[in-house]
Amino acid sequence: MIRPFFYKPEGMSRRDFVREVTRWGTAIGLSPAVLQTLCAVRTVDAEDAVEITDVQDTPHEKAPVQLGANCIEVPKKYYDTVEKNAIRCYICARNCHLPEGKTCFCYTRTNRAGKLYSYAFNNPCTFIPDDPVEKGPFFHFMPETKTFSVAIAGCMLRCAYCQNWEIAQIRPTEAKNYKLDKKEVMARIKNMPVKSFTYTYTDPIAFFEWMMEMATHAKENKLKNLMVTSGYIREAPLKEACQVIDAFCITIKGFTEPFYEKVIGGRLQPVLRAIEVVKEQKKWLEIPYLIVPTYNDGMAEIKEMCKWVVKNCGTETPVHFARFKPSYKMKNLPEGAIKVLENARKVGLDCGLKFVYIANVPGHAGNNTLCPNCKKVVINRVGFKVIDELDGRGEVIKPRALDILMQRNGACKFCGKKVPGVWV
């Protein structure tokens, strides 16, 4: 693979990398402006990447509380009064301390007169009624089915590369929202082939109260519930969510505390504990890991993460290594190298993981699901789309391996070995 001279090899420190680029830039007479562009792969200082404050001023501070379609009082079990009219929120791992009139770090909950109110209720800023379930990514949970994806603005973290920052890094009151309650949602999907609801795109922990109401209603209507999250949540509300959520996609964003502190605006340990809780509750789990060039792409770090997953989640937990796309405050970084993704996948397989995928590279063989026994392809994919199997003459093979998998509750078409997942 031919790389530009300013490519940072694995094992080289950022300081040495920048020094090397500077040496080459001087040698060929680069102007300072051009050199700065080439050296854009650099450390994101905490003050630039994430805005860490416990609480925020809120536009609701002087307005009267109007309980209604988009504002509800948060159940008392999720917060405590710690001093006169000050409260502490116990939903996410940040545990925000809120004086009167202040809003949680997630943008969605406000202290008014010693009570906690959520402004993330019945007001999604995004909903897609026929998303492929694979987008989660959920590759082993009812593949090729449609899911109703929904999000409300807000998030507990401040990822410097946030892919959905336009809706994740604002308050619900600042977003362009739809009015959508549980009954209206059910009316919309009445004649649609929807098998599940997915709470995604921002972080459902920020709209936890609405997610719980929606998920309970979906369950009553015999639909599955999927939660795509950072896992930045306390144990008690997570266990409560496990009563109605059928599958979790919890992202490990990096495997060091400094990375979480500087680039994500949070801590790693609560995420790992959330993953452990989900496994203890015997829920289906898949783990994405977005590889950010020069930040969390070291193979030693990735190996430690994979070993942790094997030890704490088992070898059958799918891991998805996703390709980085420059975004938000990290637009100057290069797009992720496919070779790095392939190396990470090999590391995961060498650690004993049976299902390691490459994401955001449509058409790559790493999109496919292989039988852990005979190693034959049981689900053919291009990105999020399941495709037909072709014989040597280009004819479609029927029945497909996926069809057999679904009919036989995970049995491989070729050898009969059970492929872990939720298939029906």
- 162-219 per-position pLDDT tens digit: 999 999 999 999 999 999 999 999 998 988 999 999 999 999 999 999 999 999 999 9
Q: Assign 391 a pLDDT band (cuts: 50, 70, 90).
A: confident
Six-digit token string for 50:
């994430």
pLDDT per position as a tens digit, 218-276: 999 999 999 999 999 999 999 999 999 999 999 999 999 999 999 999 999 999 999 99
Sequence-separated (6 or more) residues with CB below 8 Å from residue 51: 158, 265
Which range, 5-19, 27-41, 135-149, has the best average confidence (pLDDT)? 135-149
Asked if residue 127 has pLDDT above 70, the reply is: yes
Stretch 332-344: mean pLDDT, rounded? 98
Say which range, 238-242, 288-292, 387-391, has the weakest mean pLDDT.
Answer: 387-391
Mean pLDDT of the region 313-320: 99
Looking at residues 347-352, what average pLDDT do you find? 99
Confidence of residue 293 (pLDDT cuts 50, 70, 90): very high
pLDDT attached to residue 42: 32
The residue ranking higher by pLDDT, 42 or 335, is 335
Instruction: Quickly state the pLDDT bin for 4 (edges 50, 70, 90).
Output: very low
- Average pLDDT of the segment spanning 136-144: 97
- Specify the pLDDT at position 388: 86
Higher pLDDT, 330 or 67: 330
pLDDT of residue 424: 81
> With the CA atoms of 57, 62, 63 and 67 taken in that order, what torsion angle do they form, in degrees rounded to the nearest 10?
70
pLDDT band at 66 (very low <50, low <70, confident <90, very high): low
CA–CA distance, 332 with 336 (Å, rounded to integer) = 12
- pLDDT, mean over the chain: 87
**Mean of the pLDDT values across residues 66-76?**
80
Percent of the chain with pLDDT over 90: 77
Q: What is the pLDDT of residue 68?
A: 59
Percentage of the chain modeled with pLDDT above 70: 84
pLDDT digits (tens, 9 = 90+) for 356-375: 999 999 999 999 999 999 99
Q: Which strands sit side by side in the sheet containing 247-250, from one edge to the other?
A: 126-132, 146-151, 194-199, 224-229, 247-250, 284-291, 319-323, 356-359
Confidence of residue 70 (pLDDT cuts 50, 70, 90): confident
In this structure, of 66-70, 125-129, 178-182, 312-316, the range with the lowest mean pLDDT score is 66-70
Reply yes or no on whether the pLDDT at 16 is more than 70. Answer: no
* List of domains in the chain: 1-42 (no CATH), 55-118 (no CATH), 126-362 (3.20.20.70), 368-424 (no CATH)
> Residue 291 pLDDT more than 60?
yes
Judge whether residue 12 has pLDDT over 60.
Answer: no
Alpha carbons 16 and 14: distance in angstroms, whole number: 5
How deeply is 377 buried, as exposed, middle or buried, from its count of CB atoms within 10 A (0-12, 13-18, 19+)?
A: middle
Confidence of residue 49 (pLDDT cuts 50, 70, 90): very low
